[in-house]
Amino acid sequence: MLSGQQSRSLAQIFDSDAVLVSESDRTHYGQDWSRFISPDPAAVVFPKEVSQLKALIALARSSQIGLVPSGGRTGLSGGATAANGEIVVSFERMNRVLDFDADSRMVKVEPGVITQHLQQFAIDQNLYYPVDFASSGSSHVGGNIATNAGGIKVLRYGLTREWVAGLEVVTGNGDYLSLNQGLVKNATGIDQRHLFVGSEGILGFTSSAWMRLTEAPQPLRVMLLAVPSMRIALSVLSICQSHLNLTAFEFFSQEALMHVREHLSLSSPLSDAPFYVLCEFEQHRGGEAGLSDAMAVYTKLSEKSWVSDGVIAQSERENQSLWRYREGISEAITSRTPYKHDLAVRISQAPEFLEAVEAAIQNAALPFEIVWFGHIGDGNVHLNILRPEDWSVARFMKACQPLGLQIMQVVARFDGSVSAEHGVGLLKKDYLPFSKSDSERAMMRRIKQVYDTDGVMNPGKILD
Ligand SMILES: Cc1cc2nc3c(=O)[nH]c(=O)nc-3n(C[C@H](O)[C@H](O)[C@H](O)COP(=O)(O)OP(=O)(O)OC[C@H]3O[C@@H](n4cnc5c(N)ncnc54)[C@H](O)[C@@H]3O)c2cc1C
């Protein structure tokens, strides 16, 4: 609940329709896609100007209330969840394209621009914005920057960080900083832009960003392959990388395919196999060369018995149909409240890592179904532990936490990451020590203090 003084102060900063306090609005805006922590914010506000962000920071500092930046709320770690009476700061209404510099191939956007709208803006300019994933129709550029979002094209184009050419922020101390202004070269000491990318809103608000665009790839084609093991999937990756211009290389398990097929009532694309890989590659101009290269790759893989079945899309429509088997997985398992682990290891270690994690889960002897999928082309695997249908969410969560710690021991053994691209938020905090040393975490705390001395920005996220 806001105090009377806080309500009056908000009324001085915002029009009345930009402050929401009803229970349904607070619940709606107070949580991200993860559903393990109940939201309980005091209010939701919708800034449109930097001056309002500065005024909010001043209010938060003087009245010791936390501020939770909120984008499209598709986050999977509770980073945008407000569970302790904070003010949710939604960027939904800061969603303008501010500038376009065609020669520099850059566009300046407000943080509330939806990722897919940025992709479309690029297409309209005959250019391309490559960061893409299943939630890009809802996520915001500001949220993507704050989580350093990755997705399906990282193998070729890298993470969001690569595309942030300049960043304007309001820090937790209320300072407005314009960082790197879209420059390609700028050797003037510490590039603070990169501290904000991936910082999950704990240092300040992103108020606008210069995003790089690039030239569009040639028309793309998709090939879906059935593979007998993860080890062989990596050999398949190596062959595909040598012969095709890959833009994505994804994998999913047979269990994942089963859930998607059930959820979307789809027929089986291929005969049964433990794993499937989906590779997307550029056709050469004219379209023929890329396809014949893919056919040659497929023949080679079949001769080695590295694939047991496969299909190559013959049109854009067939591309989309094949992508549905991969992109539909998250949605298909949502009703089972999946406990998601977003893990990364070096690409070469992925098969051994999967086996070690499966062994840890088996040791725990819990009746859990597991579903693997992810971006194997960059070493990022998503492990989804599904809630047994007759278990309550609370019981499931309680069992997943100690199991999570055992899985993290495996991650640490492999020098991996406990969060590849989903951030730490509230849900992965206990896991952080498995990836970041005591000294690194202590440094992170000190950096936060520099930008957010009173700790008003996204309190309790990443670090206690
Ligand atoms: C079906 C599905 C598939 C997904 N696939 C992928 C994937 O392949 N790759 C991937 O990386 N992620 C994926 N995600 C996770 C999610 O979409 C990304 O983390 C995304 O970047 C979150 O953006 P958002 O706008 O929804 O942010 P939110 O969830 O609203 O917020 C995320 C974090 O950003 C902070 N934040 C938001 N806006 C600002 C701002 N203006 N200033 C400062 N901090 C801010 C929030 O406080 C929070 O900490 C997936 C999610 C779903 C539901």
Same domain (yes/no): 326, 263:
yes
E-strand ranges in 96-232 read 97-101, 106-109, 164-171, 176-179, 204-212, 220-227
Same domain (yes/no): 411, 367:
yes
Residue 420 Cα: closest atom of ligand 1: 11
Same domain (yes/no): 108, 48:
no
Residue 146 Cα: closest atom of ligand 1: 34
Q: Which residues pair with 252 in a beta bridge?
A: 276, 373
The confidence band for 35, taking pLDDT boundaries of 50, 70 and 90, is: confident
**Does 289 score more than 90 pLDDT?**
no
The confidence band for 361, taking pLDDT boundaries of 50, 70 and 90, is: very high
**Does 286 score more than 70 pLDDT?**
no
Question: In CATH, what number is assigned to the domain containing residue 316?
Answer: 3.30.70.2190
Distance between Cα 195 and ligand 1 center (Å): 17
**pLDDT tens, residue by residue, 181-199:** 999 999 999 999 999 999 9
- Closest to 124 measured CA to CA, from 97, 153, 95: 97
**What does residue 244 show for φ and ψ, rounded to 5 degrees?**
-130, 155
Q: Which of 330, 353, 375 is the last residue of a domain?
A: 330
Q: 350 to each of 19, 257, 273, 353, how far by Cα in Å?
A: 47, 20, 18, 5
Best residue among 147, 207, 263, 381 to mutate for probing ligand 1's pocket (most ligand atoms within 8 Å of CB) is 147
Same domain (yes/no): 103, 177:
yes
Distance between Cα 15 and ligand 1 center (Å): 27
Question: In CATH, what number is assigned to the domain containing residue 49?
Answer: 3.30.43.10
Q: Domain span at residue 375? A: 337-446
Ligand 1 cavity residues, CB under 6 Å = 32-33, 68-76, 79-80, 91, 111, 133-135, 139-140, 142-144, 146-147, 149-151, 200-201, 205-206, 330, 421-422, 425, 458, 461
The confidence band for 36, taking pLDDT boundaries of 50, 70 and 90, is: confident
- Cα 279 to chain centroid distance, Å, stands at 20
DSSP state of 417: B
Q: Which of 27, 62, 93 is the last residue of a domain?
A: 93
Segment 380-399 mean pLDDT? 95
Distance between Cα 335 and ligand 1 center (Å): 20
Mean residue pLDDT of the chain comes to: 96
Distance between Cα 81 and ligand 1 center (Å): 11
Residue 464 maps to a domain: no
Same domain (yes/no): 207, 249:
no
Domain tally, the chain: 4
In the prediction, which pLDDT does 291 show? 79
Same domain (yes/no): 316, 235:
yes
Residue 37 maps to a domain: yes
Q: Which of 171, 187, 212 is the last residue of a domain?
A: 212
The token pair that represents 128 in the structure block: 């391309």
CB 427 within 8 A of CB 77: yes
Same domain (yes/no): 237, 297:
yes
Question: In CATH, what number is assigned to the domain containing residue 395?
Answer: 3.30.70.2740
Same domain (yes/no): 299, 193:
no
The token pair that represents 82 in the structure block: 């407000």
Best residue among 87, 139, 148, 193 to mutate for probing ligand 1's pocket (most ligand atoms within 8 Å of CB) is 139
Same domain (yes/no): 106, 203:
yes
Is 138 exposed, middle or buried, given 0-12, 13-18 or 19+ CB atoms closer than 10 A? middle
Distance between Cα 144 and ligand 1 center (Å): 5
**pLDDT tens, residue by residue, 407-449:** 999 999 999 999 999 999 999 999 999 999 999 999 999 999 9
Same domain (yes/no): 230, 285:
yes
**pLDDT tens, residue by residue, 445-463:** 999 999 999 999 999 999 9
- Closest to 340 measured CA to CA, from 276, 262, 278, 403: 403
Residue 86 maps to a domain: yes
* Nearest alpha carbon, ligand 1 atom 53: 74
In the prediction, which pLDDT does 132 show? 96
In the prediction, which pLDDT does 283 show? 87
Return the SS3 of 326: helix
**What does residue 353 show for φ and ψ, rounded to 5 degrees?**
-65, -45
**Does 400 score more than 80 pLDDT?**
yes
**pLDDT tens, residue by residue, 104-134:** 999 999 999 999 999 999 999 999 999 999 9
CB 362 within 8 A of CB 355: no
117: left (phi over 0), alpha (psi -120 to 50) or beta: alpha
Same domain (yes/no): 12, 29:
yes
DSSP state of 441: H
In the prediction, which pLDDT does 55 show? 98
Same domain (yes/no): 434, 357:
yes
Distance between Cα 13 and ligand 1 center (Å): 27
Residue 423 Cα: closest atom of ligand 1: 19
Element (H, E) at 90: strand 87-90
Distance between Cα 428 and ligand 1 center (Å): 14
Residue 53 maps to a domain: yes
